[in-house]
Amino acid sequence: MVKMKILITGITGRIGANLAAALVERGHQVRGLVWARDRRVEKLEGLGVELLEGSLTEMGDVQQAVDSMEVVYHLGAAFQGGGPFTEEEYFEINVRGIFNMLEAARAQKIAQFIFASSDALYDKYIPGGMTAPITEETPRRARGAYALTKALGEEMCSGYWLGHALPTTVLRFAMVMGGE
């Protein structure tokens, strides 16, 4: 297997910390961007990951984090850790943040950019419950600042794929449980 240099934003979260452990176990070199408002790094101790403190809203921090990386898992977002958040913070962190990440990834010629979206894009809690499972054809109905920023992030990933040939993958997480 080819060993890769991988950046994880949101490395202190449930998904990020477990992803880091799995990637390190497979021999990859992992770097994490740690936000000052969410420094839950204790679960990363002993993994041998490189941690950089910075913010998704600061292009210099993002460029430093992406420098020399081959793959980016962009899991960082205004969601739970470091919150609560205002509408403006959702926009700045989630929308400006993905813009900064995509720009830095494009400049670095990243081999793969993976974006963590959300099932918050769907109407899941409807009277009487859902009548069918969510599929790719299920209409997106982003309600609220968080869901709207995730919808915008997905569109930006698509735009960077179509406009700049940056390989992007969007994952819509649902009901994430802790690895332990």
pLDDT in tens, 117-162: 998 888 877 788 788 888 888 888 888 899 999 999 999 999 999 9
Residue 180 has pLDDT above 70, yes or no: no
| Alpha-carbon separation of residue 3 from 18, 25, 147, 173 (angstroms) | 18, 11, 34, 26
Instruction: Give 39 or 41, the one with higher predicted confidence.
Output: 41
Which of these, 57, 51, 38, lies nearest to 100 by C-alpha position? 57
Give the tokens for residue 17: 């910390």
Average pLDDT of the residues of the chain: 92
Q: With beta carbons less than 8 A apart as the criterion, state whether 147 and 118 touch.
A: yes
Cα separation, 109 vs 103, in Å, equals 10
Please state, for a pLDDT cut of 90, what percent of the chain lies above it.
71
